[in-house]
Amino acid sequence: MQTAIAAIIVFGIIVFIHELGHFLVAKRVGILAREFAIGLGPKLFSFRKGETTYSIRALPIGGYVRMAGEDPETYEIKNGIKVGLQLDIEGKVAKIDLKPHSKYDVIGKIEEFDIEKDMFIRIEMDNNIVGYKISESALIVKEHDVMQIAPLNRKFNGKTVAQRAATIFAGPLMNFILAGLLYAIIIGITGVPSNSNVVGEVIAGNPAAEAGMITGDKIIAVEGIKIDNWQQLVNEISDKPNQTIGIDIERGQELLTLNVEAFEQAGTGKIGITQSTNPAGLMSIPYGFKQTYDLSILLLTSLGQMITGQIEADVAGPVGIIQIIGIQANEGLLNLVNLAAFLSLNLGIINLLPMPALDGGRLVFLGFEALRGKPIDPNKEGIIHFVGFALLMLLILVVTYRDVARIFS
């Protein structure tokens, strides 16, 4: 139960921040955002505020902002059908009802209309043609279904390449910002690693602890070589895996020599201690974003090595990630925050990969449009994104199967 709650909270925050980026920039450049959804699948809860419906959906593994004009839209309005018009105080059409009744100001058959550019409608009533201007926020109603009209200047595809690119890029950008802020919180609590030769923590069950070393010991020499800082200490111990090392320490007024059996890890010597830390204060913010940058470079390098076969691909799907979240939740809140920062960073990087259906793939299409001076055929682009999405879902299924098999094995 704790794992499920922790997973929902972590996924929910990361997805919410990602979609919030798309949403805020869309609103800023004037795109009509029809729905802001957290989760996928059937709708569990929703409410409408302004021109946007906010919803929670059943599967807490994603989300989306549905923007007018991003995909083909149909209004079911056409010439020759009978409609009812409700006018606002300026005499403009505020509502077009496709199943009209007697309460409407105007009822008649549509002679001609334009709800994208010129925003007008002409109605035949009693053998007369009457024209009206349409409000840019007018609603089209069919029984219980309501859709707000989106003129071309409110549609995603009606905006400039730069405005659309900013709207798409804002999602991954918010994930990088979230990661940076979460790392800043962690650093603000734990402090900044010091280059001092004072021991920060002695890890239980490791050689240093077994030899009697304690937190606060100052290491002044390794095998007779004077130690002035942490990096020098690391260098001396790293060169001595599987060796017994004489370490001179200063503990208060005492000078002690401990014999510590170093173990090997990734080809280097370790004794099981961590460095001390200094309070970070306001510097935790730049340190947090520096850690985000450093980890981004590391993740991109690892991804390149996996693609080229230099290292084994080790990818976790939703089930594997939920298992990891559960483990970290049991280890403490700080570990869970650290994992949330790492997952947010991963989501930002993965979404910027130049693959169809991902934000990076859509940015590639916008790049082609900028170079060509005209958009790619929307139908062709839609097919490519659909195929990309299908392949992505297939990959998630395969990885999920591996995760489940790994858990039960």
Helix (H, G, I), strand (E, B) or coil at 267: coil
Q: pLDDT value at position 265?
A: 86
* Known catalytic residue at 70: no
Q: pLDDT value at position 395?
A: 64
Cα–Cα dist 366/376, whole Å: 8
Q: pLDDT value at position 218?
A: 93
Q: pLDDT value at position 330?
A: 61
Q: pLDDT value at position 61?
A: 75
Helix (H, G, I), strand (E, B) or coil at 147: strand
- Cβ-in-10-Å burial (0-12, 13-18, 19+) of 228 comes to exposed
Cα–Cα dist 45/60, whole Å: 13
Q: pLDDT value at position 396?
A: 63
Paired tokens of 3:
């794992």
**What are the residues facing 278 on neighbouring strands?**
192
Helix (H) or strand (E) holding 145: strand 145-148
Report the first-to-last Cα separation within the chain, whole angstroms. 22
Ordered DSSP codes for 332-390: -HHHHHHHHHHHHHHHHHHHTSS-TTSHHHHHHHHHHHHHHTSPPPHHHHHHHHHHHHH
Closest CA to 376 of 359, 363, 358, 360: 363
Q: pLDDT value at position 56?
A: 92
Helix (H, G, I), strand (E, B) or coil at 270: strand
Which residue in 19, 90, 124, 136 is the catalytic one? 19
Q: pLDDT value at position 378?
A: 75
Residue for token digits 């483990």?
Answer: 327
Along the 409 residues of the chain, how does pLDDT read in single tens digits?
Answer: 566 677 778 888 999 999 999 999 999 999 999 999 998 889 999 998 988 999 999 877 788 999 998 876 667 788 889 998 999 999 999 999 988 877 887 888 999 999 889 999 999 987 889 999 999 989 988 877 888 888 999 999 889 999 999 999 999 999 999 999 999 999 998 888 888 889 988 998 899 999 999 999 999 999 989 999 999 999 989 988 888 999 999 998 889 999 999 898 878 899 999 888 888 888 899 999 999 999 898 888 877 776 676 656 555 555 555 556 656 656 668 888 888 898 898 889 888 988 887 899 899 989 988 898 888 777 777 787 777 777 776 766 665 556 556 655 6
Q: pLDDT value at position 3?
A: 67
34 phi/psi in degrees, rounded to 5: -75, -40
Radius of gyration of the chain (CA): 30
Paired tokens of 155:
């549609």
Strand pairing report for 225-226 and 254-261 = unpaired
Cα–Cα dist 96/103, whole Å: 13
Closest CA to 336 of 123, 255, 344: 344
Using CA atoms of 355, 358, 361, 366 in order, give the dihedral in degrees to the nearest 10: 180
pTM of the predicted model as reported, rounded to 2 decimal places:
0.79
Paired tokens of 204:
């239980």
Paired tokens of 348:
């930002």
Q: Which domains does the chain have, with CATH numbers?
A: 82-149 (no CATH), 194-278 (2.30.42.10)
Cα–Cα dist 103/100, whole Å: 8
Cα–Cα dist 6/26, whole Å: 30
DSSP state of 118: S
Q: Write the CB contacts of 131 (distance below 8 Å, at least 6 apart in sequence).
A: 120, 121, 122, 123
